Amino acid sequence: KYLKDSDTVLDFGCATGTATNEIAKQVTKVVGIDISSKMIDMAKDKANELNITNVDYKQATIFDNTLETESFDAVLAYNILHFFTDTEPVLQHISGLLKPNGTIIITTACLKKRSLRNVLQRLFLSPLMWSGVIPYMKYFSLSEFQNILNKDFQIIAQENISHNYFFVVKKKQTE
């Protein structure tokens, strides 16, 4: 719905490539990046098994200098932004990777909401983060996350899907 068949897409934090390989069926090219070499190896294996040839997987961070400025029509950021202590520089960098009028499709759990489920989840996850068992996770409220997005992007669509928020945002045009 938000991607065109002519698009070049970056999947930021692609993990094992499940979403990346599905998106590859709909667009011209996908670049999948992840910091884990094991995840990238699994993603490459899946793409080979499915005979998907328009995906380039690489072990990299979003700040990798091999990712060219204004080279992507869209960036997928599925459940990745909450792993950064400071999300704004990450989003600003993504903005630089997007072509004019580019799109970011984001899913994130805004766990700061005061539901019983989220409170219990935070109580369970916090000790695991402190002990290093799982990586750091930033807790956003919905309004905090919207404010961060609105600095460099225009929110086109927003939905709450099974305790996760889904956002489609467009890069703001510079004057």
Residue with tokens 């869209």: 74
The residue type found at 62 is I
- Looking at residue 115, its pLDDT comes to 56
User: Taking each helix axis from N to C terminus, what angle separates 87-97 and 142-152, rounded to the nearest 10 degrees?
Assistant: 40
The residue type found at 90 is V
- For the entire predicted model, the pTM comes to 0.86
- Looking at residue 126, its pLDDT comes to 57
- Looking at residue 33, its pLDDT comes to 98
- Looking at residue 118, its pLDDT comes to 56
Residue-range domains of the chain with CATH: 8-111+139-171 (3.40.50.150)
CA distances for 90 relative to 36, 71, 119, 144, 153, angstroms: 18, 16, 27, 16, 13
- Looking at residue 48, its pLDDT comes to 97
- Looking at residue 147, its pLDDT comes to 92
- Looking at residue 131, its pLDDT comes to 62
- Looking at residue 1, its pLDDT comes to 83
The C-alpha R_g of the chain, in whole angstroms, comes to 16
pLDDT tens for the chain, 175 residues: list them: 899 999 999 999 999 999 999 999 999 999 999 999 999 999 999 999 999 999 999 999 999 999 999 999 999 999 898 888 889 999 999 999 999 999 999 998 765 555 555 555 555 555 555 565 555 567 778 888 899 999 999 999 999 877 678 999 999 876 5
- Looking at residue 82, its pLDDT comes to 81
- Looking at residue 151, its pLDDT comes to 92
First to last CA, the chain: 28
Adjacency order of strands within the sheet including 98-108? 55-59, 29-34, 8-12, 72-78, 98-108, 164-171, 153-161
Instruction: Report how far residue 16's alpha carbon sits from residue 112's, in angstroms, rounded to the nearest whole number.
Output: 28
